[in-house]
Chain A
């Protein structure tokens, strides 16, 4: 009896070991590429949302880490630097909940006005919610608004048949504005 159990366990162990080694190898092969892709996507989004104020985005990992304690959905913070290296705005990469998760970048200038929105990834229903996330007319509405909290259907028009997504994106922008307020209050 003990011998059978030992026998079975050993065979299972061997299979698992082989699988683990194989997976470990695959992971080392692709790890850097995955991280690089994620970083690239975030940096591109930050660049896009800060382009209106011609700021150069610089990822600030320390700032991200300290803010993440307060804002759990914050993924990354980029400081928008002007030619002389002063911070003239921020790009916040964060995730918000529409019908599913939406990862987006929101640019905020020194006055707390939104400079642009870029949707990094969205898992919204294709043909319905995703329409809002891909619609420049909808995303453009946020430009220049803030720093006060925005209300959907008052400050910005929702996209019909994509209400959840419209709400999710609005909430994301509001969160970015909140992070901005937190940051600028601390500076005072």
Chain B
């Protein structure tokens, strides 16, 4: 990257230019599985932001102390520790935990987090690594929220959060396919296409045929 790295630039790139889900297309399995409910996505998003930011900071802090040969085990230990902290904390809120279930422990092997540790935090300044974690984490959360709003609203006819119905279309004759896995793929593909279209329109010169 030729340009000077600014903190804000590091933050914003996670949203659009290198959005983990829509552009890098990593960490998809959990997002497809849990985007059936808006409520779950909020907690999943918070968990990912926490783990990603904390592990980015720690790994960036100790980057000069980690020998190359054992960097991956060390990354995994750091990431797994933060994931376990989230897992234990969420267990005290059973209503949330029972929905997210297995996906919280699986954040350990979520490609987004290991990819950011290996590809970014291990060679960046602490402040940059932190902004990168926040940006990528928020980018992930935003996509998750959009997907879950579409799927929950049009798949079940209403959005229920914390046992209150927020929006209701007043019918439950909705296409259940949106709640199932095909619906996840369709919603995801449409979103990804939308982002591609938007970016190509903004920078027609890069397109190059």
Contact = CB atoms under 8 A, between A and B. Distances in A.
Interface of A: 7-8, 11-12, 15-16, 19, 22-23, 26-27, 30, 33-34, 37-38, 41, 121-123, 125-128, 161
Which 9 residue pairs are nearest across A and B when measured between Cβ atoms?
Answer: A127-B179, A19-B81, A121-B98, A33-B92, A34-B91, A127-B156, A126-B36, A30-B88, A26-B85
A27, A30, A122, most chain B CB atoms within 10 A: A30
Interface in B152-199: 155-156, 176, 179-180
A127 B153 CA distance: 11
B73 interface: yes
A123 B98 contact: yes
A37 B95 CA distance: 10
A178 to B, nearest CB: 26
B94 A128 contact: no
Contacts, number: 66
Interface stretch (B13-21, B63-71, B134-142): B63-71
Contacts of B179: 125-128
Contacts of A121: 94, 98
B88 A27 contact: yes
Contact of B176 (A16, A26, A37, A127): A127
B78 interface: yes
Contact of A22 (B85, B91, B176): B85
Interface of B: 36-37, 62, 65-67, 69-70, 73-74, 77-78, 80-81, 84-85, 88-89, 91-92, 94, 98, 101, 155-156, 176, 179-180
Q: Say whether chain A's binding surface is mostly helix, strand, loop, or mixed.
A: helix
Given A41-B94, A125-B179, A26 B88 contact: yes
B70 A11 contact: yes
Given A126-B37, A127-B179, A12 B73 contact: yes
Contacts of B66: 11
Nearest to A40: B94
A58 to B, nearest CB: 22
